[in-house]
Amino acid sequence: MATNTLAMTRRGIVGGALAAATLPFAVRGQDGRDPASHEPTDVKVKMTFNDLSLTATLYDNPSARDFASMLPLDLRIEDFGGNEKIVRLPRKLTEEGSGPFGNERPGDLCYFKPWGNLALFYDDYRWDGLIRLGRFDGGFEPLLVRGAYPVRIERI
């Protein structure tokens, strides 16, 4: 009987180790894509406000895909916190597969989960509750213009 208990323990340990090793792959979902991916896609969006525009490349994650499915949008962009502009979305995005990320830097296009808004960073930041949706292409100078404006966001 002691041998069976020992064998079951080994089997349990090996089984647990195998389950732990496969967990990261299971999180990727049925389509094989990482839900928290920061890999760029070919999906680009254009934001136009105050006679200025900028483009961003979206990442391959569920939140970015959900955002793209909402476009086009006519909303309002406004200053917030001295390092970003925000855009309040008409509804919250999916948070499926979201998780913390590092290497935050100006030019990130993020979604702020608690409030359900876009966060467009033009200066350093570090906040919990963000999902990175993508990065701005070729600079983000229009974000430095102070004020609140109507904004058009569309897929290009």
pLDDT in the model for residue 36: 56
Mind listing the pLDDT tens digit for each residue in 21-34?
433 333 333 344 45
Average pLDDT value over all residues in the chain = 82
Token pair for 141? 């100078």
3-state percent helix, strand, coil for the chain, nearest multiple of 5: 25, 35, 40
Backbone angles phi, psi at 115, to 5 degrees: -100, -20
Q: Which amino acid is at 59?
A: Y
The class of domain 40-155 in CATH terms is mainly beta
Is residue 154 within 8 A of residue 71, CB to CB? The reply is: yes
Per DSSP, helices labelled H in the chain are 2-27, 62-69
- Note the pTM of the prediction, 2 decimals: 0.75
In this model, does residue 9 exceed pLDDT 50? Answer: yes
**156 CB-near residues (< 8 Å, 6+ apart):** 44, 45, 46, 55
Q: Which amino acid is at 49?
A: F
Q: Which amino acid is at 112?
A: F
Q: Which amino acid is at 23?
A: L
pLDDT band at 38 (very low <50, low <70, confident <90, very high): confident
Domain ranges of the chain: 1-30, 40-155
